[in-house]
């Protein structure tokens, strides 16, 4: 039973609504970040992240560092690539542009392989690109929050390992970890980057990463020092290894309250099989997408295989504007997000459906949102058939 104050239901693609127990964990009394009680909590949290990412390889290593998911880009660009290296960035929206910009900031040459809005680069195109040039890394945004496009990581990784086995496979999982299947070991992934505030269901402020043994060896074999200090694997790797071994260690002060909240939400997530959690998100997503189709609305990704289970990007009907519709939804107690893709930002809205709003059967957030959307559309002049 939640004791949260009454508030509009937050259904943007992150941050999401948070479980009451998770929020209560944020009020944990102050602790020493090198004291045995907190070190034990942090160590358990790192071990649970292995379960969430589905890795049992002792050579892989989870990281939790204070910062937003964006910090994960800096970790990759500063540690796994060196100035002058070539990397291939698969583009499905706004966040590929940003990741490429991050690489360029560190002197890394980022080539973007783009797809039309709502689609993703096709595997034959990726294969052709990999055969034309040697790339140190390939990056893919599992779910691009700007478009709602879902990329197929398993088949992509298989392709990379077959065609360019020395290329590291990097997955931006900010809007997918916790609601989309990610099999780190089985799929041969080298890094997954995510954040606390989306499907994982913890308040913002933590950058969460998993690196393979191969990625860590690649880092150790670099010819130059990392081009960052705070975002240096050199500085953080021994800290994370020590915390997971329940040994106190220090490089920079973590947030004990956020780590307690992350520990709580991971405990909740892992209390049921991950396959069940993914199925619940998939079923909710299909119901939402079916309902908005019945309203006569269209999605940015038109192909079902390209449609994420964590969110839905909805084109606005002719004559309907986001500055009119979004306040109408707010009056009905629901918060959606406006468009983010630079080329079409004014033409669509985004509905985030992940985490507690989906998996808690006592909550009626999705029903409330769909009804609010229907009523809001009518209020701004759209006729639902």
pLDDT digits (tens, 9 = 90+) for 322-380: 999 999 999 999 999 999 998 999 999 999 999 999 999 999 999 999 999 999 999 99
Phi-psi region of 170 (alpha: psi -120 to 50; beta: other; left: phi over 0): beta
pLDDT digits (tens, 9 = 90+) for 74-85: 999 999 999 999
Give yes or no for a cis peptide into 72 (omega within 30° of 0): no
Residue whose tokens read 């989870």: 62
Residue whose tokens read 């942090």: 42
pLDDT digits (tens, 9 = 90+) for 193-208: 999 999 999 999 999 9
Q: 33 with 268: CB under 8 angstroms?
A: no
Evaluate if residue 259 carries a pLDDT over 60.
yes
Evaluate if residue 117 carries a pLDDT over 80.
yes
Evaluate if residue 125 carries a pLDDT over 60.
yes
Evaluate if residue 1 carries a pLDDT over 60.
no
Global pTM reads 0.97
The two three-digit tokens of residue 91, written as one number? 């583009």
What pLDDT is recorded for position 339? 96
pLDDT digits (tens, 9 = 90+) for 163-191: 999 999 999 999 999 999 999 999 999 99
Round to whole Å and give the CA distance between 91 and 81: 19
User: What is the pLDDT of the chain when averaged over all its residues?
Assistant: 97
Q: How far is CA 328 from CA 307, 325, 353, 366, in A?
A: 26, 5, 19, 17
pLDDT digits (tens, 9 = 90+) for 65-108: 999 999 999 999 999 999 999 999 999 999 999 999 999 999 99
Q: How far is CA 310 from CA 173, 177, 179, 228, in A?
A: 11, 10, 6, 32
pLDDT digits (tens, 9 = 90+) for 269-279: 999 999 999 99
What pLDDT is recorded for position 384? 87
Round to whole Å and give the CA distance between 56 and 160: 22
What pLDDT is recorded for position 190? 98
Sorting pLDDT into bands at 50, 70 and 90, what band is 2? Answer: low
CA-based torsion, 187, 125, 164, 63: positive or negative: negative
Q: Which residues contact 369 (CB under 8 A, 6 or more apart)?
A: 9, 11, 334, 336, 351, 353
For residue 165, give the 3-state DSSP assignment.
Answer: coil
Q: Count CB neighbours of 37 within 10 A.
A: 10
Sheet holding 168-172, edge to edge: 61-66, 206-211, 191-195, 168-172, 137-141, 86-91, 109-114
């Amino acid at each position: 039973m939640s004791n949260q104050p009454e508030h509009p239901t937050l259904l943007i693609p992150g941050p999401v609504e948070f479980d009451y127990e998770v929020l209560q964990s944020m009020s944990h009394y102050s602790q020493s970040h090198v004291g045995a009680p907190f070190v034990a909590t942090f160590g358990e949290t790192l071990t649970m992240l292995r379960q969430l990412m589905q890795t049992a390889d002792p050579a892989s290593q989870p990281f939790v560092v204070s910062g937003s998911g964006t910090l994960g880009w800096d970790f990759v660009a500063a540690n796994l690539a060196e100035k002058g290296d070539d990397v291939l960035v698969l583009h499905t929206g706004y966040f590929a542009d940003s990741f490429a910009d991050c690489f360029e900031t560190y002197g890394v040459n980022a080539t973007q392989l783009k797809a039309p809005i709502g689609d993703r680069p096709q595997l034959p195109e990726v294969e052709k690109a990999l055969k034309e040039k040697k790339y140190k890394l390939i990056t893919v945004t599992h779910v691009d929050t700007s478009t709602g496009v879902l990329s197929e990581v398993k088949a992509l990784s298989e392709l990379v390992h077959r065609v360019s086995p020395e290329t590291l496979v990097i997955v931006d999982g900010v809007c997918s970890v916790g609601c989309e299947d990610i099999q780190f070991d089985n799929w041969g992934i080298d890094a997954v980057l995510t954040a606390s505030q989306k499907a994982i269901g913890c308040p913002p402020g933590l950058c969460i990463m998993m690196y393979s043994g191969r990625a860590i060896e690649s880092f150790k074999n670099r010819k130059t020092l990392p081009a960052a200090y705070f975002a240096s694997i050199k500085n953080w790797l021994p800290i994370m290894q020590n915390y997971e071994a329940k040994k106190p260690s220090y490089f920079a002060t973590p947030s004990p309250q956020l780590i307690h909240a992350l520990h709580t939400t991971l405990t909740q997530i892992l209390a049921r099989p991950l396959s069940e959690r993914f199925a619940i998100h998939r079923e909710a997503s299909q119901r939402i997408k079916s309902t908005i189709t019945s309203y006569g609305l269209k999605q940015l990704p038109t192909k079902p295989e390209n449609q994420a289970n964590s969110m839905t990007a909805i084109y606005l009907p002719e004559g309907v504007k986001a500055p009119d519709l979004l306040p109408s939804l707010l009056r009905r107690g629901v918060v959606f997000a406006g468009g983010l893709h630079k080329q079409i930002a004014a033409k669509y809205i985004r509905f985030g459906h992940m985490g507690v709003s989906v998996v808690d059967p006592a909550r009626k957030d999705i029903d409330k949102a769909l009804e609010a959307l229907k009523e809001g559309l009518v209020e701004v002049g759209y006729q639902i058939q």
